[in-house]
C-alpha cells in the first residue's frame, strides 16, 4: 500500500481549490486530507464487497463474523468454506458468489494484485473489472487505497455527491452522470478531490454527533 506525499497532496488541493469553489471550501475547512490506505489483498477486496449497500456499522459486524469464521481471509480459505456458513455470517447470496469469483480469479492467476498495483491506471482498472464481482466502484476504491492513484475516482459514490452538494450550496445533488462529467475538471487529481469531500463530510458528521455542551 502507498499514499501520495503530503507535498503532492497539498499541491493538488491548491489546484483543485482554484478549479471548484466547493473543493475550495472543503480545503479551507479541512486542510490537506489524510489519505486512506489499505494492504492490497483478498481481505481488502472482500471487505469492500461486504460493505456494498450496507451501513458502515452493519457491514463491519458482518465482515467481522466472516473473519472469525475463516480465521485468515484468503482466497483459499474462502473457497474451502461452506457457502451456507458464509451466508450465516450475514453475507447475501450474491456477495458470496462475488467473493467466490474473485477468490477463483486470484487462485488461477487471472487476477494478480501485484501486477495490478504495478500497472498503469487504465490497465489496472481493466484487470480488476474483468473479474465478476469487481465493479467500477470497487476497482476505483482499490486503486485509491492500495495503489495511491491520485486520479482514481469512485463514480456514483453517494457520499461524494452529497458532500459536493452541501459545499457547492446546491439545492439538490447532481445526478450521477452530471457529477461524473463535472469531476472532469478535477483531473488528474480526482482521487484527491474524493478524499477532500469524504474528509469534510466525515468531519461534519462527527461535529453533528458530538455531545452538546
pLDDT in tens, 156-193: 899 999 999 999 999 999 999 999 999 999 999 999 99
Rounded CA gap, 129 and 152, in Å?
A: 14
Task: Choose among 7, 60, 59, 19: nearest CA to 183.
Answer: 19
pLDDT in tens, 18-36: 999 999 999 999 999 999 9
Residue 72: what pLDDT? 94
Q: What is the mean pLDDT of residues 54-73?
A: 92
- Dihedral of CA 193/198/201/203: which sign? negative
Residue 208: what pLDDT? 77
Sequence-distant (6+) residues with CB within 8 A of 174 are 161, 164, 165, 182
Confidence of residue 1 (pLDDT cuts 50, 70, 90): low
Residue span(s) of the chain under CATH 1.10.340.30 come to 42-147
CATH class of 6-35+153-207: mainly alpha
In the chain, what is the straight-line distance between the N-terminal and C-terminal CA atoms, in Å?
40
42-147 is classed CATH 1.10.340.30: yes
Residue 212: what pLDDT? 66
- Looking at every residue in the chain, the average pLDDT score rounds to 94
pLDDT at 205 over 90: no
Residue span(s) of the chain under CATH 1.10.1670.40 come to 6-35+153-207
For the entire predicted model, the pTM comes to 0.90
For the ranges 1-5, 20-24, 108-112, 146-150, which has the lowest average pLDDT? 1-5
pLDDT in tens, 87-106: 999 999 999 999 999 999 99
Amino acid at each position: 500500500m502507498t499514499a501520495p506525499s503530503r507535498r503532492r497532496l497539498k499541491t493538488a488541493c491548491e489546484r483543485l481549490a482554484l478549479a471548484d469553489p466547493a473543493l475550495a471550501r472543503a480545503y479551507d475547512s479541512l486542510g490537506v486530507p489524510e489519505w486512506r490506505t489499505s494492504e492490497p489483498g483478498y481481505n481488502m477486496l472482500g471487505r469492500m464487497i461486504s460493505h456494498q449497500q450496507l451501513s458502515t456499522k452493519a457491514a463491519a459486524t458482518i465482515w467481522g463474523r466472516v473473519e472469525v469464521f475463516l480465521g485468515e481471509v484468503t482466497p483459499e480459505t474462502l473457497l474451502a468454506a461452506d457457502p451456507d456458513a458464509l451466508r450465516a455470517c450475514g453475507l447475501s447470496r450474491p456477495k458470496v458468489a462475488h467473493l467466490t469469483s474473485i477468490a477463483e480469479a486470484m487462485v488461477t492467476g487471472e487476477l494478480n494484485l501485484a501486477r495490478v498495483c504495478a500497472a498503469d491506471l487504465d490497465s489496472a482498472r481493466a484487470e480488476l473489472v474483468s473479474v465478476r464481482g469487481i465493479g467500477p466502484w470497487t476497482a476505483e476504491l482499490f486503486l485509491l487505497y492500495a495503489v495511491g492513484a491520485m486520479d482514481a475516482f469512485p463514480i456514483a459514490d453517494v457520499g461524494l455527491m452529497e458532500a459536493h452538494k452541501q459545499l457547492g450550496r446546491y439545492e439538490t445533488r447532481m445526478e450521477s452522470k452530471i457529477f461524473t462529467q463535472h469531476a472532469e475538471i478535477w483531473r488528474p487529481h480526482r482521487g484527491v478531490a474524493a478524499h477532500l469531500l469524504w474528509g469534510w463530510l466525515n468531519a461534519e458528521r462527527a461535529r453533528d454527533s458530538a455531545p452538546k455542551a
